[in-house]
Amino acid sequence: MTVRNGQGQQGVGRQRPSGSTVPLSEAYDTALLDLDGVVYAGGEAVPYAVEALGVARAGGMHLAYVTNNALRTPDAVAEHLTELGVPAEAGDVITSAQAVARLIADDVPAGSRVLVIGGEGLRVALRERGLVPVDSAEDAPVAVVQGYGGPEMPWGRFAEASYAVARGLPWYASNTDLTIPGARGIGPGNGAAVEVVRIATGGRVEPKVAGKPLPPMHRETVLRTGARRPLVVGDRLDTDIEGAFNGGVDSLLVFTGVTDAAQLLRAVPEHRPTYVAADLRGLLVGQPEVVAEEDGSFVCGGVRASVSGGSLVLEGLEGSEGSEGSEVPSGGAVDVMDAVRALCGAAWSAADAVGGGVPDAGKVLARLGL
Contact present, 348 and 360 (Cβ < 8 Å): no
Spatial CB neighbours of 123, under 8 Å, sequence gap ≥ 6: 116, 133
**DSSP secondary structure string for all residues of 305-332:** EEEETTEEEEEEPTTSSS-TTPBPPSSS
| Contact predicate 38/31, CB 8 Å | no
Give the integer Cα–Cα distance in Å for 193 and 152: 12
Distance CA 8, CA 184 (A): 37
135 flagged as catalytic: no
Q: Which of 34, 235, 238, 338 is catalytic?
A: 34
Amino acid at 362: G
| Catalytic residue from among 29, 36, 75, 240 | 36
CA torsion, points 329, 333, 339, 340, in degrees to nearest 10?
Answer: 100
Residues 95 and 355: their CA atoms lie apart, in Å, by 41
Which amino acid, one-letter code, is at 222? V
Q: Does the annotation count 295 as an active-site position?
A: no
* 202 torsion bin: left (phi>0), alpha (psi -120 to 50), beta (else): left
Give the residue numbers annotated as catalytic, written as ranges: 34, 36
